[in-house]
C-alpha cells in the first residue's frame, strides 16, 4: 500500500506544473450495481491437480463513500482518490449433495457440500485522467488498486471445514463521465472492471480450495467540491 501511495504522489507532483487552477478537494457517495464472477477450484490432496471446478455469478448493489482531489488545466485534468465500501458483500451460499465411498467399506456416505464467502473492508485507490468536452463536463478513465478481506467458509464430506480470512487484491480499470455544477455539486457515471488476484484456502487435511474473482460495476456518484 505504501508503494501505491508513493506512486500516486509522484504522479501528482509530475503533473501539477502542467495543470494549474486545481479544482480542489471533494467528498461524495456512490451506488453501484455489481456482477461478481467467481471461478472456484478444489485440489483434494494439494498435488497441483484440479479435482473439481465451479463457476458462479452474484449480482448485488452496494454503496460507498469517496474522497478525491482534482487538478485542472485548460482541457485536461487528473483526479486522485480513494473509495471505501463500509458494508459487506456476500457471495451466495452454494450447496451440493455428494456421496463418498469409504476406503474399507462398500457403503457410501452421503452428505452436503457447501461454500460461501463474505467480502469486507473493500478500498480502492484510484487515478482518473480526464478531458473536458465542455466547460462543465469531463470524460475520464479510471485506473486503480483494490484491497479487501474475504472470509471463506466451506463444509464438505471430503475434507475438513474451512472458515478463514484472506487478503484480496486487484486492479481496476474503467471509463466515466463527470458533470460539475456552479454550486460545486457534481455527478459521475462510470463503468469499471476489477480483476482480483486468485485467493486460496488450505484445510488441515491438506485440501486446497482456490477462487478467482472478477467484478463488473456500473456506478452513479454524487459529490461536492470545496
Q: Range of 151's domain? A: 2-225
Which DSSP state fits 194?
E
pTM for this entry: 0.73
Domain count, the chain: 1
204 pLDDT above the threshold of 90? no
pLDDT at 212: 83
Strands (E), 52-107: 52-72, 76-85, 89-101
Q: Check if the beta carbon of residue 27 is closer than 8 Å to that of residue 55.
A: no
Do residues 208 and 200 touch, judged by C-beta distance below 8 A? yes
pLDDT tens string 95-113: 444 444 445 555 444 544 5
**What phi and psi, each to the nearest 5 degrees, are found at residue 220?**
-120, 135
User: Residue 2 is inside which H or E element, if any?
Assistant: helix 2-15
Q: How far apart are CA 147 and CA 143, in angstroms?
A: 14
Which residue's entry shows cell 452496494? Answer: 62
The CATH number assigned to the domain holding 194 equals: 2.40.160.20
- Say how many C-beta atoms besides its own lie within 10 A of residue 116's C-beta: 15
Amino acid at each position: 500500500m505504501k508503494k501505491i501511495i508513493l506512486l500516486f504522489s509522484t504522479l501528482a507532483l509530475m503533473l501539477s506544473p502542467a495543470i494549474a487552477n486545481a479544482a480542489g478537494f471533494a467528498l461524495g457517495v456512490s451506488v453501484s450495481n455489481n456482477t461478481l464472477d467467481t471461478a472456484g477450484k478444489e485440489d483434494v490432496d494439494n498435488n497441483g491437480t484440479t479435482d473439481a471446478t465451479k463457476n458462479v455469478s452474484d449480482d448485488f448493489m452496494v454503496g460507498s463513500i469517496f474522497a478525491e482531489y482534482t487538478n485542472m488545466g485548460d482541457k485536461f485534468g487528473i483526479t486522485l482518490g480513494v473509495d471505501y465500501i463500509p458494508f459487506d458483500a456476500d457471495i451466495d451460499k452454494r450447496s451440493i449433495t455428494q456421496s463418498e465411498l469409504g476406503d474399507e467399506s462398500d457403503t457410501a456416505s452421503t452428505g452436503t457440500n457447501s461454500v460461501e464467502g463474505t467480502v469486507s473492508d473493500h478500498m480502492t485507490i484510484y487515478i482518473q485522467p480526464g478531458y473536458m468536452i465542455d466547460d462543465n463536463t469531463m470524460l475520464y478513465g479510471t485506473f486503480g488498486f483494490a484491497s479487501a478481506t474475504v472470509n471463506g467458509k466451506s463444509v464438505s464430506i471430503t475434507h475438513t471445514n474451512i472458515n478463514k480470512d484472506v487478503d484480496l487484491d486487484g486492479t481496476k480499470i474503467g471509463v466515466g463521465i463527470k458533470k460539475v455544477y456552479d454550486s460545486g455539486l457534481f455527478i459521475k457515471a462510470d463503468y469499471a472492471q476489477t480483476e482480483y488476484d486468485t485467493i486460496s484456502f488450505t484445510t488441515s487435511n491438506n485440501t486446497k480450495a482456490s477462487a478467482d474473482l472478477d467484478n463488473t460495476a456500473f456506478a452513479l456518484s454524487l459529490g461536492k467540491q470545496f
